[in-house]
Amino acid sequence: MTAVLKDFEQPVPESVPGKPRYVPQSQRRILCVFPKYSPSFGTFNNAYPLLGRVKAFMPPQGILLVAAYLPQEWEVRFIDENIRSAQPGDYRWADVVIVSGMHIQRSQINHINAMAHRYGKITAIGGPSVSACPEYYPDFDLLHLGELGDATDRMIEYMDLQTDRPPQQIRFETTERLPLSEFPVPAYHLIDLNKYFIGNVQYSSGCPYRCEFCDIPELYGRNPRLKEPEQITAELDAMLASGNLRAVYFVDDNFVGDRRAAMKLLPHLIDWQKRNGYPIQFACEATLNLAQNKELLAMMREAYFCTVFCGIETPEADALKSISKQQNLMGGMSILDAIKTLNSYGMEVVSGIIIGLDTDTPDTGDRILEFIRLSNIPMLTINLLHALPRTPLWRRLEAEGRLNFDEKRESNVEFLMPYEDVVELWRRCITTAYEPEFLYQRFAYNMEHTFRNRIKRPLTPERLSKKNIRKGLWIMANLILRIGILSNYRKTFWAMAAPKLKTGKIENLIHIGLVAHHLITFAQECGRGEQAASFYAQNVKAAQRFRVGSLAR
């Protein structure tokens, strides 16, 4: 059942460092638009009402990077439609409209294109979705395929020299990538970070592993490319200047894909935290074998990494082998022991769980729920398997005739178990995992066995600022009103919250209250059939929600 993996294509080479940038001849006005997400598990949208100004999960770093790379002589505007929709006046102002996004945003991306064309504007699209599947976007004028590099320069030159839409679509494909060490600081000055749940930063690109369901190695390569540590601290400085953040997520495909590089970065993060009074928590994505490197873990603890997302996917060894995820089985350390090790360094583990693998049986749900109980992981992205283009999984299922593109389905995979049984298995797992009492039990474990292992941050003026105090009081008032009084699980909430109020553990209470509220209410929506079972595909249900919302424009 193990997929046969093809030899990966040779990675796109990097350009020579210091290559001069294109110098424009004309003035241009560029509108960068990031499309709205349909509400899902990963957007955390159910927590936003508790946070006041927050409207979106994290800034779209890719298109902010492009905005920063555009010629400084040009006027650039940025709109994140998760915060506000682009209006007719925005389109009229622009000469060119640039869009980026992922497959799940496909409907919204094409809608933005249609709106821009309504006003006669040149449209361009780049990013992961179009790079993997250019055929998804037949009506865009310009396609940017691949990473930032020579294609970007050629596209900028085209936009500089042309004022009318081209008679047919033009593709710019990267043949030389810009070294990450030459990436500019994303254009944080164009956004208000106070409107985002968390901030984000990228240190590396690529992952050495070949998980069957993942498209990262084929899009970005297997040898991680790196920024310089000084770039990361400069980006953190820029984020602090743009808003009052509580956490920053490293969106690297695998934070420890190059362990020596991570060891090089961490002293800079530690120093930055100390110089700035430990203003934020860090989070990252990493393979579970991170638990085997105690020196690395100790440095991450000192840098105040509090959360690590690990793609555990399944607790079953045979299933891990079938999806080429053997790295979860390396080193003789069990998955549960690895989780406890990460907890011992103060890091709360977030896990990916996939339902619908070929090895699943009717008993898989019971085994997953038992794993959740034993691991005490509070948050797990319990997700129905979906085949992404440019993955070994897609190619295997295509060869087996097991891809199904019926828009009414929750997944494009023909499972070996009956389809309805798999969907019901997912629904039972996610609703049971996020029953309030069960979820709070796992948070209680982490309070005792994880949170207490974190370093004690100094009570600096930055942390005790009036702005932070007002923000904390606002969130507490909302927790008490919206959950403690109005929610359908208020009794369970008070059983958790009352002891923490008495002992003064307000930060822990706020963290648990915010995260748990989204998980609990999202799971309840899943139980009512209001949410999609695959968070990577936009099925008819999600698309209909978008279309209804777009009618108001």
Banded pLDDT at 5 (limits 50, 70, 90)? very low
pLDDT for 111: 97
Banded pLDDT at 540 (limits 50, 70, 90)? very low
Banded pLDDT at 454 (limits 50, 70, 90)? very high
Torsion angle defined by CA atoms of residues 445, 450, 451 and 452, in that order, rounded to the nearest 10 degrees:
100
Q: How far apart are CA 176 and CA 391, in angstroms?
A: 23
Q: Which of 9-23, 336-350, 429-443 has the lowest mean pLDDT?
A: 9-23
Report phi then psi at 246, rounded to 5.
-110, -20
Which residue reads 């749940």 in tokens?
197
Structure tokens at 330: 């390396």
In single-letter form, the type of residue at position 270 comes to: I
Whether the CB-CB separation of 50 and 475 falls below 8 Å is answered with: yes
Whether the CB-CB separation of 129 and 385 falls below 8 Å is answered with: no
Structure tokens at 408: 């009414």
**What's the rounded mean pLDDT across residues 7-23?**
75
pTM given for the model: 0.91
Looking at the chain, the whole-number percentage of residues with pLDDT higher than 70 is 94
State how far the alpha carbon of 110 is from the alpha carbons of 100, 343, 406, 480, in Å. 11, 43, 20, 41
Q: How far apart are CA 505 and CA 268, in angstroms?
A: 30
Structure tokens at 74: 């040009």
Cα within 13 Å of Cα(71), Cβ side: 21
Mean confidence (pLDDT) of the chain: 90
Residue-wise pLDDT tens digits, 180-221:
999 999 999 999 999 999 999 999 988 888 889 888 788 787
Q: How far apart are CA 260 and CA 324, in angstroms?
A: 24
Q: H or E stretch including 308?
A: strand 305-313
DSSP string, 93-154: H-SEEEEE--GGGHHHHHHHHHHHHHTT-EEEEESHHHHH-GGG-TT-SEEEESSSBHHHHH
Core vs surface per residue 272-309: b (16+ CB within 10 A) or e: bbeeebbbbbbbbbbbbbbbebeebbebbbbbbbbbbb
Residue-wise pLDDT tens digits, 489-519:
999 999 999 998 888 888 899 999 999 999 9
Q: How far apart are CA 444 and CA 486, in angstroms?
A: 23
Pairing of strands 142-145, 96-100: unpaired
Going by C-alpha positions, the residue among 151, 251, 269, 153 that lies closest to residue 206 is 251
Residues 6 or more apart whose Cβ sits within 8 Å of residue 72: none
**What's the rounded mean pLDDT across residues 294-308?**
97
Residue 46 predicted with pLDDT over 50: yes
pLDDT for 373: 98
Banded pLDDT at 10 (limits 50, 70, 90)? low
Residues 6 or more apart whose Cβ sits within 8 Å of residue 112: 33, 35, 81, 86, 97, 99, 123
Q: How far apart are CA 457 and CA 87, in angstroms?
A: 44
Whether the CB-CB separation of 222 and 254 falls below 8 Å is answered with: no
Measured at the CA of 512, the angle between CA 482 and CA 52, to 5 degrees, comes to: 45
Beta bridge partners of 145: 173
Residue 544 predicted with pLDDT over 50: no
**Domains in the chain, start-ordered, CATH in brackets?**
29-173 (3.40.50.280), 198-452 (3.80.30.20)
Q: How far apart are CA 244 and CA 193, in angstroms?
A: 7
DSSP string, 505-531: -HHHHHHHHHHHHHHHHHHHHHHTT-S
Banded pLDDT at 550 (limits 50, 70, 90)? very low
